[in-house]
């Protein structure tokens, strides 16, 4: 499969795909005699893995390390597990952060909904009272 087709299928740019290959987030792709990348089913699996991990917020450096470990063989199972646990930990911290921010936004929305009804903006939470007129 050509780079163009892979990019169309996964809605990514050729530059992104080349970058992933260059830094090791996907292994080197076989090329035709003319030097054109020719993606196999296995290459597509690596692309899907990289995209899945990136979409989850895993840094590309961590993805590249994971690929490197995978290519080293079965003796790296525990290192791969540990790397994925670290990625999971980072994602969970992000989720917690987003949850906190979402709760703050929900609170603000509720205050503005009440203000639309009453004509008065009132902040019940102390951290929102300092600049209550502009928050």
- Chunked into runs of 10 residues, the chain (135 residues) has average pLDDT values of 96 96 96 94 96 93 97 97 95 94 96 95 71 49
Query: What pLDDT is stored for residue 132 in this prediction?
Result: 47
Q: CA of 10: how far to CAs of 13, 29, 39, 48, 66, in Å?
A: 9, 17, 13, 8, 21
The highest-level CATH class for domain 3-72 is: mainly alpha
Query: What pLDDT is stored for residue 128 in this prediction?
Result: 56
* Domain ranges across the chain: 3-72
Query: What pLDDT is stored for residue 124 in this prediction?
Result: 85
* DSSP element (H, E) containing 43: helix 41-55
Tens of pLDDT, residues 40-72: 999 999 999 999 999 998 999 999 999 999 999
């Amino acid at each position: 499969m050509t780079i163009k087709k892979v990019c169309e299928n996964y809605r990514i740019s050729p530059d992104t795909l080349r970058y992933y290959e260059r830094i090791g987030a996907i292994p080197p792709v076989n090329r035709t005699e003319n030097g054109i990348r020719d993606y196999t089913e296995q290459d597509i699996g690596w692309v899907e893995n990289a995209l899945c991990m990136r979409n989850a917020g895993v840094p590309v450096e961590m993805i590249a390390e994971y690929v490197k470990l995978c290519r080293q063989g079965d003796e790296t199972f525990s290192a791969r597990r540990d790397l994925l646990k670290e990625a999971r930990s980072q994602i969970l911290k992000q989720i917690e952060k987003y949850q906190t921010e979402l709760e703050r936004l929900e609170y603000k929305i509720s205050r503005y909904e009440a203000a639309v009804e009453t004509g008065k903006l009132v902040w019940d939470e102390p951290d929102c009272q300092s600049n209550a007129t502009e928050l």
